[in-house]
Chain A
């Protein structure tokens, strides 16, 4: 088994044995360690509370040298999630790969990250959107200028995610 598979396999076993609060994780297809299916519980005391958001985590062959990509498959409304569901947080960028100049002072990908630490970052992103580096400009604008409208829109995606269960 290559290094990436070994490491992913270990994490799968560990997360199955000792689940971590806030998300559940498994493989999309048991024969492929590189595609993970994640369900994120909307963090308590946030607009996303009560939601169950599905996402996929796709690891490259050279993980942990390079980061995975994370994409919500459930509908999501958040300044740091692209309209197509891709999550845009700095730790999922390689040092040097930086489409957003404002991320210069932020933490980048390093091989210390695991499914667990990535999910903790994404949950933290849900709790505190960063409207200085919007991936979804409309959501960022609404978050900044029309907080009530933003709340209603998020409440809708939370409801939708519950219906999909």
Chain B
């Protein structure tokens, strides 16, 4: 298997070293639910999951996982559609050239891109249920449990930028829908303040100023006679030029936040990477380049950079969390709230009440947007916290 990728193992290596850690938080829970799979296959978990973030990894890892793995998730077709790289072909048949491998990976990426716009349309959560109809009991139970909290979802393209795109779309959409000018004013001020901080970290102004203006212009249209609406937001976020620019800005903010607070982030980064890399190197390799997946570190940094609380709901194979007073609920869905430091420190008693502005659904390797049900319903059923 290795030999087929000998010259090209770096993307997968780099990704799985990061990817595996990103799931660290879930690592122990994975083993609970992962049937006979050993812990080190955490990275392989993404195999068979239907999001394109994993497509690349799928093509590389599929060999080990495609065979005999009870694929809970619905996309065996991606796995089986990787012709050159079959299980034993690497050794016997002539090895594909590096260029061929890259070309194939690019064609998989392109094919995946065509399947899915950068952001999809709102779908009822039942669509998720349908997707896992043949899936494991745990998934189906969890989706049912999820339906008590969330009414609908919106998928994003699995191109490695899905966290940033989900975040920005969900944040802006909520602002637009609520016409929340207070929050708008706050975030515009916050983004403007980043200009000096980005320059201080070493970014050239010309690389981010256009993107920053685009985001601020969209935000500033709220409250005018021609405010941004959801349809326009969708169009912007699906635009081949605008969407990447917005992602790029968020990546720079995230990178700058990590570098500004490198003392805080360094231990996490040290724990994530096999080789010793500096905080700056981490940012250059895993934060700034487009398509590099987001981990816990990225989310912590972004939530603080923009002071926006985020809830990540984990849909994975782990068997639920213990709920106080309720005992062990196999279908409980874990979530984690990312609360900006300033909000959690300002009034520790009130911190617990910080309401997430953005809800995203995490399935190993991919993020989509979740829409909570109206408050009354959500209050009655608390989901377990990690």
State the CA gap A116–B203 with chains docked (Å): 12
A124 CB contacts on chain B under 8 angstroms: none
B310 at the interface (CB under 8 A from A): no
A3 touches B290 (CB 8 A): no
**Known contacts A3-B210, A3-B241, A110-B290: A98-B252 contact under CB 8 Å:** no
Contact A97 B289 (CB under 8 A): no
Q: Which residues 272-307 of B sit at the A interface, judged by CB distance below 8 A?
A: 275, 277, 281, 284-285, 288-292
Chain A contact residues: over half helix, strand or loop, or mixed?
loop
Please report the C-alpha to C-alpha distance between residue A6 and residue B240 in the assembled complex, in whole angstroms: 16
Q: Does A103 count as interface, using CB distance less than 8 angstroms? A: yes
| Chain B residues with CB under 8 A of A97 | 102, 106
CA A103 to CA B102, docked complex, whole Å:
14
Indicate if the CB atoms of B245 and A3 lie closer than 8 Å.
yes
Chain B residues bordering chain A, tally (CB within 8 A) = 37
Instruction: Collect the chain B residues with CB atoms within 8 Å of residue A65's CB.
Output: 244, 248, 290
0/1 interface trace, chain B 193-232, chain A, CB 8 Å (1 if under): 0000000000110110010000000000000000000000
Interface members, chain B 47-78 (any A CB < 8 Å):
56
| Chain A count of residues within 8 A CB distance of the other chain | 33
> Contact at A95–B281, with CB atoms within 8 Å?
no
Q: Does A109 contact B (CB under 8 A)?
A: yes
Asked if A107 and B206 sit within 8 Å, CB to CB, the answer is: no
B10 interface residue per 8 A CB criterion: yes
Q: Does B83 contact A (CB under 8 A)?
A: no
Listed stretches A7-15, A32-40, A69-77; interface member: A7-15
**A5 → chain B, closest Cβ, in Å?**
11
Q: Does B263 contact A (CB under 8 A)?
A: no
Q: Does the CB pair A116–B9 fall under 8 Å?
A: no
Within 8 Å of chain A (Cβ to Cβ): is B8?
Answer: yes
Instruction: State whether A64 and B281 are in contact (beta carbons under 8 Å apart), knowing that A101-B8, A104-B13 are contacts in the complex.
Output: no
Contact in complex: A110, B284 (CB < 8 Å): yes
User: Measured between alpha carbons, how far is A42 from B281 in the docked complex, in Å?
Assistant: 27
Q: Are A111 and B207 in contact (CB under 8 A)?
A: yes
Cβ–Cβ < 8 Å partners of B292 in chain A = 95
By beta carbon, the residue of chain A nearest B248 is A111
In contact, A2 and B56 (Cβ under 8 angstroms): no
Which of B14, B56, B99: most chain A Cβ within 10 A? B14
| Pair A101/B291 contact, Cβ less than 8 Å | no
A10-B206, A112-B207 known; A96 vs B285 contact (CB < 8 Å): no
A100: Cβ under 8 A from any B Cβ: yes
Could you say which residues of chain B place their CB within 8 Å of the CB of A153?
none
Q: Which of A6-51 contact B (CB under 8 A)?
A: 6-7, 10-11, 14
* B55 → chain A closest CB, angstroms: 11
A96→B105 contact, CB < 8 A: yes
A10, closest chain B residue (CB)? B206
- Check if B127 is an interface residue, CB within 8 A of chain A: no
Q: Is B180 an interface residue (CB 8 A)?
A: no
- Cα distance A96–B101 in the bound complex, in angstroms: 11
* Nearest 3 interchain pairs by C-beta: A104-B10, A110-B288, A110-B289
Binding site for B on A (CB under 8 A): 2-3, 6-7, 10-11, 14, 62, 64-65, 94-114, 116-117
